[in-house]
Amino acid sequence: MAGRPRDPELEKRLLDAGWALLTSRGYDALTMAKVAAEAQAHRTDLYRRWPTKAQLVVDVLAGHLPPVSEHDTGTLRGDLKAIVDDFAESWSSSWVDGLMALTADLHHDPDAELAFRTMAEGRGRPLHNALTRAMRRGEIGEIQELGLVGDLIEGPLMHRRMIGRQPLTPEYLDAVVTSAHRLLTGMSVTP
């Protein structure tokens, strides 16, 4: 005997309710009971799909985060600018304040941690592709550790927002792009 088929509309309501609560109240205030109530569903509907809050929130983020551009502007600098702007859109959101609590929960939930890593790798793919194109065009030399470049580019945005509690201004984003471009192309990093 087969179980009940999944109800895509119910899943959408649950994910939308999770996003609404995450963005309005933050990760710490989000509970499975509140998500179920917001979606006008039963908690069992929620737990059947996501056994933990962390798993739910990872899927909420995967479905609602602004996309990272896959534009080929023809230059490394142009590609970096588009990607940094997309990263900044996510890191400028108010829900980011609760991200540290989510990452702490991920250490206790291997399934959620794997889903989060998979989502992060997917969001990093446009940068990987931009670097690969730049290497093919001869703009930059061979890079052995492409993930490190992502850390060097997105790390300052994360640090400025989560630790420094400062906004990601256009001037700051331009400085990140300029620094990354100069570092990758071997030019002096000093402005």
Quick one: tokens of 73? 């502007």
**Residue-level pLDDT at 53:** 93
H or E element: which one contains 113?
helix 110-137
What is the mean pLDDT, run by run of 10 residues, along the chain of 191 residues? 66 94 89 96 93 93 87 95 94 78 87 90 93 94 89 93 92 97 77 48
Output the pLDDT for position 170.
Answer: 97
pTM reported for the whole predicted model: 0.81
C-alpha to C-alpha distance for 168 and 132, rounded to whole angstroms: 27
State the helix-helix crossing angle for 170-185 and 146-158, rounded to 10 degrees: 160
The pLDDT score that the predictor gives to residue 67 is: 86
Write down the pLDDT at residue 6: 66
Going from the C-alpha of 93 to that of each of 23, 144, 162, the distances in angstroms are 8, 32, 11
pLDDT in the model for residue 83: 95
Q: Could you give the C-alpha distances from 62 to 11, 19, 113, 138, 162, in angstroms and in order?
A: 14, 10, 13, 34, 20
Q: CA gyration radius for the chain?
A: 19
User: What span, in angstroms and rounded, lies between the C-alpha atoms of 31 and 45?
Assistant: 14
- Looking at residue 1, what is its pLDDT? 42
How far apart (Å, rounded) are the C-alpha atoms in residues 100 and 68? 21
Residue 157's H or E segment, with its range, is: helix 146-158
